[in-house]
Amino acid sequence: MSGDNALFDDREVDFQLYGVHDVVGLTRLSAFAEHSRETFDLVLGETRKLARTVLWPLYRELDRTPAFENGAIRLHPKMKDLYAKVLGLGLVPATRGHDVGGQSLPVAVDCVAQMYLCAANLGPASFVILCRGPGHLIEAFGSDELKRRFMEPLYRGEWTGTMALTEPHAGSSLGDITTTAKKSGDHWSVRGTKIFISGGDHDLTDNIVHLVLARIEGAPAGTKGISLFAIPKKRDGGVANDVAVAGMVHKIGWKSLPSLIMSFGEHDDCHGWLVGEANQGLAYMFQMMNEARIGVGLAATATASAAYRQSLDYARTRPQGRALGQRGGAQVAIVEHADVRRMLLRQKAICEGSMSLVIATARYADVAAHGRTPEERERAQTLLDLLTPITKSFPAEKGFESTTLAVQIHGGYGYSSEYLPESWLRDQKLNTIHEGTTGIQSMDLLGRKAMGKGGAALRALAEEIGRAIEACPERELAEAVGRGLGIATEASMKLGALGMSGDAEAMMRHSVDYLDMMSTLVVGWQWLLQATAAAKASEDLREGKLHAARYFVRTEVPRIDHLAELCTSAEDSYASMRNEWF
């Protein structure tokens, strides 16, 4: 038993969904017209119940590496029952249309349901994602035959899937993959090795569908010659498809979800089926990768929140020391010490800022797919593209920091395996690495998203932030974010000019600082939205929100000025540093 932990404050979740982001307003779109707050609450209520009463009590027990025996992965014996219960929620195809077995549930609501599951137990929650992501990709780009053959069992949860991109020698440099595909009758013969494949083998389902990037013989070099193939573990009739586990990665966290080295076609008998058109594989895969990046953000938010709730409970119940100036008498709970409240407030600002960011980004995804007009959909897609690397990176980077504060608040007990914060710390660190490291996200943001379409995304973001500044009654905070917006906008223009001049190195040199700057601005915006909505909340919720908003805007938003200076100055300390000088 992992002990009591609410994972999230339900009042906080309702405030964010309905008070800040007005997800009920999405029901005015035809795609969501059948829904209401009642249907949203029903989904969230069932998910909360399962997360708290079934998944969470087994978190500690499942925090162990699966067995690798006789070339096969054996998960914890209780995983199969947990997987069946999670499937029973109907969340795998929930955001898809009724024509493929979905519920047309808004992504903004679904992502919060997923947060509860991830906060409770990452392993069982992850297998849901390993059904829906591959299923959606085949739905979007596969033929009718591939949909019948692979999408339908994935959406039913009868099979799970993977995204098999990375190779041992190439890492994130996908243009250097060497997995090959050769036409052979009605299929393609695929051969190669992939690494870090989450859920690449297990004993939960009868089959696994691997979505594999490979290069057709004679294809162009680099990323332009990559195609996408659906490769089942077993072919029709249960025939083995020459897909084997070559090894297991012994991760420090997310242990119950196996990360594997997978071999395809070692005996030249691996059958794959082309998804979509040849040489378009990376473009197709980016749909699932971008969904996964938002998924990383929500998982990071979930883990940080579970750790925050644990440290808050500990601080309220752990007696130690006395108030400053007090001699004798009973000890006080450590929450009474100012420095502990500082750490707790920082956790609160990070966790609730991250949740708001994830919901906002998910809401743009809903409008991008189902908005009333092409212009509305295009604008939402532009904002979604811009916010995706931020939504992946801020909760991951700052969520890790927040989780270290949970360890710190627990003191010496936190630095032990007898208490939970160390396990969340291990889980959390993966989020800055998988689905594209923070450095990769920063290059995507600055090199593609911010400067694309003549800066249209930055203009749209400025409009959104401008409306929040105008509406916020906390004028000190609104004006501070407004100053930050001006500084970030000017810095972006200068960097864009550097890129236009051909000096890409100078433009991209401080891309991670640029990501930090923009993330700080965006989460500052989210705190303005929360401060505004809090005016109608109960006293405790209102005061908690206002104090967290003041903390974030006063301590974090001023960093925008310094980060902008780093981005636009000629500061080149690490760029000019030579290998031999380290």
Distance CA 378, CA 371 (A): 9
Q: Note the pLDDT tens digit of each residue in 5-64.
A: 899 999 999 999 999 999 999 999 999 999 999 999 999 999 999 999 999 999 999 999
CATH of the domain at 78: 1.10.540.10
Query: Do residues 132 and 155 lie in contact, with contact meaning Cβ atoms separated by under 8 Å?
Result: yes
Q: pLDDT band at 1, cuts 50/70/90? A: very low
Which of these three, 253, 282, 311, is where a domain ends?
282
Distance CA 257, CA 248 (A): 11
What pLDDT was estimated at residue 4? Answer: 81
What pLDDT was estimated at residue 35? Answer: 98
> How many other CB atoms sit within 10 Å of the CB of residue 464?
18
Distance CA 15, CA 263 (A): 47
Please check whether residue 451 lies inside any domain of the structure: yes
- DSSP letter at 219 equals P
- Range(s) of the domain holding residue 327: 283-568
Q: Could you tell me the two tokens for 520?
A: 């700080």
Tokens 């309905």 belong to residue: 18
Q: What would the DSSP string read from start to end of 15-57?
A: IIIIIIS-GGGGGGSGGGTT--HHHHHHHHHHHHHHIIIIIGG
Please check whether residue 578 lies inside any domain of the structure: no
Same domain, 340 and 356: yes
Please check whether residue 5 lies inside any domain of the structure: no
Q: Note the pLDDT tens digit of each residue in 76-125.
A: 999 999 999 999 999 999 999 999 999 999 999 999 999 999 999 999 99
Q: What is the mean pLDDT of residues 414-425?
A: 96
Q: pLDDT band at 324, cuts 50/70/90? A: confident
CATH of the domain at 442: 1.20.140.10
Number of domains in the chain: 3
Same domain, 390 and 431: yes
Exactly one of 139, 167, 435, 474 is catalytic; name it.
Answer: 435
Distance CA 123, CA 579 (A): 40
Q: What is the mean pLDDT of residues 482-488?
A: 98
What pLDDT was estimated at residue 296? Answer: 97
Please check whether residue 576 lies inside any domain of the structure: no
- DSSP letter at 193 equals E
In this structure, of 108-117, 545-554, 567-576, the range with the lowest mean pLDDT score is: 567-576
Cβ neighbours of residue 532 under 8 Å, at least 6 residues apart?
Answer: 468, 471, 472, 473, 474
Query: Do residues 230 and 213 lie in contact, with contact meaning Cβ atoms separated by under 8 Å?
Result: no
The angle that helices 511-533 and 539-555 make with each other, rounded to 10 degrees, is 150
Please check whether residue 543 lies inside any domain of the structure: yes
Please check whether residue 45 lies inside any domain of the structure: yes
Angle at 211 between CA 206 and CA 213, to 5 degrees: 150
pTM given for the model:
0.96
Distance CA 339, CA 181 (A): 59
Same domain, 197 and 131: no
Pairing verdict, β 227-232 and 180-184: unpaired
Query: Which amino acid is residue 457, in one-letter code?
Result: A
Is 435 a catalytic site residue? yes
In this structure, of 94-103, 317-326, 507-516, the range with the lowest mean pLDDT score is: 317-326
Same domain, 327 and 434: yes
Same domain, 297 and 242: no
SS3 401: helix
Please check whether residue 562 lies inside any domain of the structure: yes
Residue 570 has pLDDT above 90, yes or no: no
What pLDDT was estimated at residue 429? Answer: 97
Which of these three, 139, 156, 173, is where a domain ends?
156
Residue 326 has pLDDT above 90, yes or no: no
Same domain, 219 and 367: no
Please check whether residue 577 lies inside any domain of the structure: no
Same domain, 246 and 380: no
Cα dihedral 474, 346, 517, 400 sign: negative
What pLDDT was estimated at residue 55? Answer: 97
Same domain, 348 and 471: yes
Cβ neighbours of residue 342 under 8 Å, at least 6 residues apart?
Answer: none
Query: Do residues 204 and 79 lie in contact, with contact meaning Cβ atoms separated by under 8 Å?
Result: yes
Distance CA 580, CA 582 (A): 6
> How many other CB atoms sit within 10 Å of the CB of residue 327?
5
Give CA 86 to chain center in angstroms.
19
Residue 3 has pLDDT above 70, yes or no: no
Same domain, 433 and 564: yes
Same domain, 307 and 179: no
Say what percent of the chain tops pLDDT 70: 99
Distance CA 246, CA 239 (A): 19
Q: What would the DSSP string read from start to end of 498-533?
A: HHHTT-HHHHHTTHHHHHHHHHHHHHHHHHHHHHHH
Q: Note the pLDDT tens digit of each residue in 155-199.
A: 999 999 999 999 999 878 888 899 999 999 999 999 999 999 999
Mean per-residue pLDDT over the chain, rounded:
96
Same domain, 242 and 191: yes
**What letters, b where the CB count within 10 A reaches 16 and e where it falls short, cover 107-121?**
bbbbbbbbbbbbbbb
Q: Note the pLDDT tens digit of each residue in 290-321.
A: 999 999 999 999 999 999 999 999 999 999 98
Tokens 């054996």 belong to residue: 74
SS3 194: strand
CATH of the domain at 256: 2.40.110.20
Same domain, 203 and 108: no
Which of these three, 247, 282, 317, is where a domain ends?
282
Residue 2 has pLDDT above 60, yes or no: no
